[in-house]
Structures are given as structure tokens and as C-alpha cells.
Structure 1
Amino acid sequence: MERFTNNLYTRMQNQLQDIAQSTGDMLHLAEQSYYAVFEHLKELNTFAKEYDFKNEEEEVKFFKEIKPSFLKEAIFFDALFGVESTKPPSSPEVQKNYYREHIDRFCRYFEQNQELYLYYRLDHSHLDPAMFVRKPDRNVMMPAYSLEIDPSHSNVYSFKFGKIQALEDMVSYIKGSITALDNGGALQTVSDERLTFTGTKAQFHEVMQALEAAGVFNNGKASTRLIYDVTQNAWNIRVSNYYGYFQTIRIRKKNRTPFMDLAKEMLIRKMDDQDEHPRFH
């Protein structure tokens, strides 16, 4: 199962990166990305419908981790299109108020699903066998109705997890947009072309964690969330779970900082090349 779902997820992310690089218009990006994710989600559902889980652990992994990772992308781009398509073409202050209203709306969803939200944020697992299976106990946390109704590949808690993750990403995106407006659009490039980080998300995480550790933003007082929010908006990339990813970096066996080491090597090589072939005399 994991080989198929990992390959499908990687293929989806690669397509999303291609879309991000091919358009600088947020509405086109949201629309094209949504349809791309939707096609991969259909493929995942077809697979799950015909697949017999080997054991409960595998079933829980699918509904708690794998399915939400696809759902959150679809929900995010749907929400992104909704927010950006109705944004008023007005003053920065009006646009900031518009964005703040959406943050409040998304946060209300977290409040309405507070018990499940805390279960997700605290990374609990004691109720997993009752929640993240084909026939979940809907009385565990009494989640609201979900449109995902086919039990062969859908689960109400799985849908909620995906939506929670998507709305967290939307809040981060909107905060970055507000910061850009606060800076008079300084985070946008001077031309009409957007600057897109085209490395891997793992590389992006490594750079962000290194910059935070070095204390180069706001004299070392900038929070991890602020650094990520602003930089994601500036570099046209979207990631999530940065606190969890730091732990992934920390426990790497062979090399904790492969991208930083590569960047250092390439910089030294560039300087050495300039020493041998100087452009200016």
C-alpha cells in the first residue's frame, strides 16, 4: 500500500510544483492545482475501494495520515480560490480586514471541532482504532456531517483531519498576505514575475530552520511561524507541520543537513571558479 500511495503523493506534489512554476496568477494556480489534486484523489479512492488492508495498523495509517494528506490539498486550493476570487480590489487596509475575517472564520471551525482539533494537535493515538477505520464509531467525538460517505475509502474523521490541516495552511497563507500588505507589497518581486522556490520541501524546511537558528530575523526574535508565513508567501511555496519536520531533521541518521552542506559546497565551487576565471580585472 505505502509504495503505491507514496508514489501517487509524490506525483501529485511534482505536478503542483509544475503548476506553481508555470503561473504567477493566484487564481489560475488555485484552480489548476485543485483539479490536479482532485484527479489524484480519485485515483487514491479507486485504489482504497479495491484494497484489503493487511491489519488494523495499516487501515489506521491510511485514514489518519494518507487520505488526509490528499484531502487537505484539495480543500486548501478550493478555499484559496474562494478567498482570492472574492478579495476586494480596494485599499490595503480593506484587504487586510477582509483577510482577517477569513482567519476568524477558519478559527471558528477549529473551535467547533475543538476536541478533534486537540486530538490532532497533541498527536494522540489512543482512539485511533475507533476513529480511523472503514467503520468508525461516530459517537467518539460526534463530528459534524461529512460529504465523504463511501466507507470503502472515506471516513468522517479522516475528512476532518484533512480539513483542519488545510485551514491551518490557509491561516498561514493569509497571515503572510497580511504581512505583505503591511510592508506595502515589499514581499512581491519588482517585476510581474513571482519568485518560486523550486527545490524540495525538505530543502525549504532545512533552510528555514537554519535561518531561525542563526537568529537573522528581527534580531533573533522572530517566531518560527512568522518566518515560515512570510517566506512561504515571498517564495511561492506552501508547507505545513514545520515543528514536526524539525524533529525529522534532528533524528536523521547519516546527515542532518544535506542541503546546507550541498549549498556550502556549491558556493565554494562558485568562488573557486571565479578565482580561476575572474570576470573583472
Structure 2
Amino acid sequence: METKLLSQELSVELERIQSITTDILKQSDLSIVLCRNLLLKLKKEISHDIFKNDKEEINFFKQIKQVPLSNLVYFFELKSFEIHFPKGDENSKKKYITKKLKKLNDFFTQNLDFIQYIDQDKTYLDSHYFTRKYFNEFNITHAKYYFRDPDFSSSHDLLLAKLKANRRLVIYLEQRLKSIGRRNGHTISFNKQLNWTATKTDMTELAYALKSSGAINNGKVNLKEIVRALEITFSFNSGDPYRNYSEIQIRKKSRTKFLDELTFGFISNLDKGNE
């Protein structure tokens, strides 16, 4: 099957969408179409090819299908949030976001056992959770507008997708909440919106560099706080910083590619006498 390659291509396309528009609703609409199309392709693929064993089927539902499915859930929920976001005063906006965050925390509480199973990299229930033969026995998730075809779904693939999506939503909602109103008695304002136009790994590289240098709070700050500050300032979701860091570690060329580019650009400006 070429399913793994298709999922990798989707990740690239989703990043491209973020680079061509900063409009969240446009990003969501374009991303939803891509995710749906890929899910249809994957469905056709597995209808023609039979999995050789449980391991192969588990890998499909636990890893490969998660790329389009978790993104589909995320962008659906993101679009819904933005469409219904209050246009009124700051208090109504904060109340709306807080209510959404509570619902997400309720989801995490209700599915604590499954979340621990995933976070601890356990595998002993994978054949029950991520093969189709137990679909009816463990069909515990609400379908809503997602794919729940028993020939194309395991009992817990949607639940895992919701977990991945909801964790991203928490970061997004916290950014929105912090961006409302005043900080330290001053209103945050720019002549125009500042948008991060480099990559997710570039932001992670910068965050780790700031953390390692001790340039913020004399080093007494954790990485996630730095990442969130950058994400809020530049209206960007950089994803999982630890996963991005792993990608940086295995680079074959310079592991500080973005920092090298910053240094080169700054030195070029100094040489030219530019401000």
C-alpha cells in the first residue's frame, strides 16, 4: 500500500495551506477538503488490499489513518469555534473560551484510562482498539460528522483522533484566551498582525535556543511557556515541540538551520548597513 506516503503528503499540504493564508476559516475549509479526500482514497486502498496481519492493520488505524482523521476533527472543531466566537465584549469572549476549555477537560477526564494507555505507549489492547474485528464490541465514540464505516474504522481510531485534535485545540484556545484584553496593565497592539511565516520546526528551534541561552527569566522558564508565547505573538500553532525537536535532532545537515539563517541574514544586513 502507498497509504503511508499519502499521509506524509497530506502533512506537507496542510503546512502549505498555513503558509498561504492566515485566515483560520479559510485554512480550516481547505484542510477539511484535503483530509476528507485522503480518507476516501485510504478507504479505497484498504478495500482492494487485505492486511497481511494484525500488526499491519493496527499500524494503519493507529498511525497512518490518524494523520487525516485527527486533522479532520481538529479543523472541524476549529471552524465551529471560530464561526460561533462572540463578537461582543471581552468578558463574553473569555466566557466562551473558558466554556470550551471545560468541555475539552471533561473529555480528558472521561477518557483517562485510554489516554494513559496511549501516553504510556502500551500495546496489549491494540488488537481490540485498532483492528476492525472488535468494532461493534467497543464502539464507544459518537460519530457526529466523521468517518465511522465499520469496514474503514476500528473501535478506537476516532477516539484517538479526538485525543490528538483536542490537545491541539487546548493550545489554540489558551492562545486565544491570553490574547484577549490587557497584560500588565497595557493593551497589546500592533500596527498590523504579526504572522509566523517560517515552519513549525523553525519556531521550535528558536524556542529551544531561547530556553538554552537563559535569555528569558534568566532561564527560569519551561519550554512550553516559551513556545506558547511565540505562538500567541505570531498567531501560529507550532504543533508538538518535542516531536519537532526529534526531527531537528536527526537532520543530516545543520541541526541549527533556522538559527544559521537568522545569523546569516543579520550579518548580511550589517555588512550592507541596513537597519
Aligned-pair distance for 1:162?
Answer: 0.5
Indicate whether 1:198 and 2:198 are aligned. yes
Q: What is the CA-CA distance between 1:99 and the residue it aligns to?
A: 0.5
Residue 153 of structure 1: how far off its partner (Å): 2.3
Amino acid at match of 2:49: Y
Residue 229 (structure 2) aligns with: 230
Mark the CA change 1:237 to 1:212 in structure 2 (over 3 Å): closer, same or farther: same
Asked if the contact 1:87–1:95 (Cα under 8 Å) also holds between the matched residues in 2, the reply is yes
2:49 maps to what in 1? Answer: 51
> Deviations 1:192-251 (Å, cap 9, x if unpaired)?
x5513332x33333332332233333443333333333323433433433334445555x
| Number of equivalent positions | 271
- Report which stretch shifted further, 28-37 or 75-84: 28-37
Change (3 A) 1:102 1:145: closer
Normalising by structure 2, we get a TM-score of: 0.83
Query: For structure 1, which runs of at least 5 residues remain unmatched after alignment?
Result: none
TM-score using structure 1 length: 0.81
Give deviations 1:115-135, integer Å, cap 9, x for gaps: 111112222222212221121
Residue 143 in structure 1 maps to residue 144 in structure 2: no
Given that 1:188 and 1:234 are in contact with CA atoms closer than 8 Å, whether structure 2 keeps it comes out as: no
AA of the residue aligned to 1:155: S
Are 1:187 and 1:234, in contact at CA under 8 Å, matched by a contact in 2? no
Partner of 2:38: helix, strand, or coil?
helix
Residue in structure 2 matched with residue 119 of structure 1 by the alignment = 117
Whole-angstrom distance in 2 between the partners of 1:123 and 1:241: 17
Closer/same/farther in 2, CA of residues 142 and 222 from structure 1, 3 Å limit: farther
**Identical aligned residues as a percent:** 22
Is 1:33 aligned to residue 34 of structure 2?
no
Q: Distance in 1 between matches of 2:189 and 2:40?
A: 35
CA RMSD of aligned residues (A): 3.0
* Residues 134 and 154, structure 2, Cα contact 8 Å, conserved in 1: yes
> Which position in structure 2 is the counterpart of 1:74?
72
The equivalent residue for 2:84 is 86
1:161 aligned onto 2:160: yes
The residue number in structure 1 matching 2:171 is 172
